[in-house]
Amino acid sequence: MPYCEVGRYADGDKWEGVRLFYRRYGSGATKVLLVIGLAGTHDSWGPQIKGLTGSLEPSDDEALRPDEEAGVGAAEAAPAEADDGIEVCCFDNRGVGRSSVLPNKSYYSTAIMATDALALIDHLGWKKAHVFGHSMGAMIACKLAAMAPHRLCSLALLNVTGGGFQCFPKVDAQMLSLAFRFLRAKTPEERALVDLETHYTKEYLEETVGSCTRRMVLYQEYVKGISSTGMQSNCGFEGQVNACWTHKMTTKELDTIRSAGFLVSVIHGRYDIIAQLCHAKRLAERLLPVARMVVPHGAHLVSHERPDEVNNALMDLIKATKSEIKPEEWSAQPENTSETGALISARPITVMVRTDAGVDATAAVYNLLGKLQLSFLYLIGMILMGFELMRNIVRVMKPVRVAAIES
């Protein structure tokens, strides 16, 4: 199986290598790196792999790849490629799937994981690539774009937020219920039920597919997928959560992306309850004039729920890059709505705020309330975890009744 060593870390008295598992699909001069999100594995990109390359068959069969075991870069021994084709690489981030699981959350950050992605690009022998990321993967892609802008052809950010408090969903009864069930999920079946409700809209899950609903079909697929790869380890999950929580893009980093010369697409499901749409719109605004906003009718996993719309947006980005469209032309294209309902807007709605003292005070109060709401969600989560812990303790300590024995 293809692995790439991206670094080393201290494990007690010895040093261990950090290995990323990856797969390649298709072939061609156009290179695309797909970066998956929290708890996801490389195969979560299936609809995009199929849409970009036309096949789900990996092109990195280990029987044909003796160069990797010899330590040679993947592209050095590769044959000549067709100019009109697309080669895609996707991988498991550190902490999940077949990649290394590091024991401490300090080994996880979006900057560190961006360095992993850059090391993989070097390992593949790619000079430049289109980098597309989803959720946490989009945060990593942002860091990579700011870290090495000269290595990117374009950047696509799917269901992205700015990290930190923006990672918290909107507080409502549905989200509190999902959070409680997620914390209690111990089996693939329990985890699959929660994942379905967070990844897709209710309308999509209730659609009829043959003799059953899409929910039933996806449930079986999710249970099978989770069972085959195993539940993510606590170390890996906590580390990746830490990466999301500590993620932040500075003004300087965003300026670097905006002035790098490549185009950006910000693609976000309209009904995403995990990553709120307003945060993605705000990021797109800060990346003008190089960014375009695309809002399909979908939830957090809009790449699966509306694959054709997402794939079309990604292909538009690749084609615009090849035709060398200027950033101003990319962002100046008129707002329109596709036949399938995806809102395409080059210029997200901007709220103009006057600088007088009254408005400044109102904005400050609004921001404070937003943070209090997020703090409340965090508090509720801690209370739920504490309640579950206490219940387990009581269950263990509960005395056992023994029936009296008659003589």
pLDDT tens digits, one per residue of 379-398: 555 565 565 556 666 555 55
Question: How confident is the model at residue 168, as a pLDDT?
Answer: 84
CATH annotation of 3-63+85-170+234-332:
3.40.50.1820
Which of 4, 26, 34, 28 lies closest to 17, judged by CA?
4
Question: How confident is the model at residue 371, as a pLDDT?
Answer: 47
Spatial separation of the C-alpha atoms in residues 131 and 138, rounded to whole Å: 9
Residue 362 has pLDDT above 90, yes or no: no
Question: How confident is the model at residue 174, as a pLDDT?
Answer: 77
Confidence bin at 16 (pLDDT 50/70/90): confident
Spatial separation of the C-alpha atoms in residues 108 and 102, rounded to whole Å: 8
Question: How confident is the model at residue 140, as a pLDDT?
Answer: 98
**73 vs 262, higher pLDDT:** 262
Domains of the chain, residue spans: 3-63+85-170+234-332
Backbone angles phi, psi at 19, to 5 degrees: -115, 135
Q: What is the pLDDT of residues 142-192, one digit of tens each?
A: 999 999 999 999 999 999 999 998 988 877 777 778 877 877 788 888 888
**252 vs 345, higher pLDDT:** 252
Average pLDDT, the chain: 83
Question: Please, is 391 exposed, middle or buried when counting C-beta atoms within 10 Å of its C-beta (0-12, 13-18, 19+)?
Answer: exposed
Q: What is the pLDDT of residues 54-97, one digit of tens each?
A: 999 999 864 444 444 444 455 444 545 556 899 999 999 999 99
Asked if 310 and 302 count as a contact pair (C-beta separation under 8 A), the reply is yes
Give every CB contact of residue 297 below 8 A, 6+ residues apart in sequence: 201, 269, 270, 271, 306, 340, 341, 342
**What single letter denotes the amino acid at residue 209?**
V
Q: What is the pLDDT of residues 309-325, one digit of tens each?
A: 999 999 999 999 999 99
Residue 196 has pLDDT above 70, yes or no: yes
Confidence bin at 272 (pLDDT 50/70/90): very high
Confidence bin at 350 (pLDDT 50/70/90): very low
What tokens does 300 get? 């957090």
Which of 105, 108, 112 lies closest to 147, judged by CA?
112
Residue 46 has pLDDT above 60, yes or no: yes
Question: How confident is the model at residue 266, as a pLDDT?
Answer: 98
Question: How confident is the model at residue 135, as a pLDDT?
Answer: 97
Confidence bin at 258 (pLDDT 50/70/90): very high
Spatial separation of the C-alpha atoms in residues 334 and 150, rounded to whole Å: 29
Q: Which of 140-144, 242-246, 331-335, 340-344 has the lowest mean pLDDT?
A: 340-344
Q: Does residue 356 sit in helix, strand or coil?
A: coil
**383 vs 52, higher pLDDT:** 52
